[in-house]
Chain A
Amino acid sequence: MAQPGFVPPSISDFFYNSVIGHSILATKPVMLLFFSVILISVFFAVSARKAAVVPSRLQYSGELIYNFVRNSIGQDIIGEEYQRFVPFLFTIFTFIFINNIFEVVPFLQFPTMSHIAFPISITIFVYCVYHYVAIKKKGFWRYLKEMCFMPGVPKAIYIILAPVEFLTYFAVRPLTLAMRLFGNMFASHLLLLLFTLGGEYMLKSALFVKFFAILSFGLAIGLSFFEMGIQFLQAYIFTLLSALYIAGALAEEH
């Protein structure tokens, strides 16, 4: 019953062929992306349709998610002018969360955010928003001055602080924002692949090893539940940090 050696999952497992010819749009991640958008739109449209003062369960669940983003992320973080950013924050929160959840949904089982392009595209939006808001409120030169030469710091430190702050605002923040989401989803998918494929490999091996296959599958299931928490946390953190950057752009120096 010899089988060839175990091939651990690698990056090539993240690339899918297109189902219709050679189109780049017909691969599994892109179809999951479209599906998530349809899912979110339909759910919230139906949830808000017959809005009653005493909400039904569907309306209550939609309002729960919306209130969570509006209050604990929008209002608490941004403060005064939070209302105009709530649609944006709500969109990215639900979009990232639903796409992350697709990893543990049976038959779908792929987090679209594990392709770096998707977090990057969302990050580009956040990047443009917080820079535009700051420049519109403070003017370009005053924004740069407040960013690089923070008040309340001994003047000699500006030599190292100014480039560091400049790099942070313009390079490090978007990079880490995208990579955090990408890395978490990539790592979780890779781990689940490892446990599942390893369990399958062990199941086809000698009898003594079959017991460990059960252990491996059990670990995969347990890890799926843990990953659900991580998926929610990553969506929440992405939105929270976007709100923090916007709040920082709106804040006046004290």
Chain B
Amino acid sequence: MKGTLSIVGFGLSTIGPGTATGLIFAAYINGVARQPEARSILQPIAFLGFALAEALAIFGLVLAFVLK
């Protein structure tokens, strides 16, 4: 089975953003569980944090394809 090292590198690099996304949404769920009225206040913050963490995973994917 042939593959490239860059794809393996990308696979390893998703550990970080995956963990970060889990932590962010765990905090969001906790916050909404403690105080359901805070849902619409916390939602933009949760999605902002998610997009920032996801950005790094996306950089990895893009660079894995571009820098074969």
Contact = CB atoms under 8 A, between A and B. Distances in A.
Interface residues of A, number: 19
B58 A180 contact: yes
Interface stretch (A19-27, A130-138, A234-242): A234-242
Contacts of B62: 179, 182-183, 186-187
Contact of A233 (B47, B58, B61, B65): B47
B51 interface: yes
A176 B60 CA distance: 12
B51 to A, nearest CB: 4
Interface of A: 10-11, 72, 76, 176, 179-180, 182-184, 186-187, 190, 233-234, 236-237, 240-241
Contact of B55 (A11, A180, A186, A190): A180
A240 B47 CA distance: 10
Interface of B: 44, 47-48, 51, 54-55, 58-59, 61-62, 65-66
A237 B61 contact: no
Nearest to A234: B51
Contacts of B47: 233, 236-237
A183 B59 contact: yes
Contact of A183 (B44, B48, B61): B61
B55 A233 contact: no
A180 B51 contact: yes
A176 B62 CA distance: 13
A183 B55 contact: yes
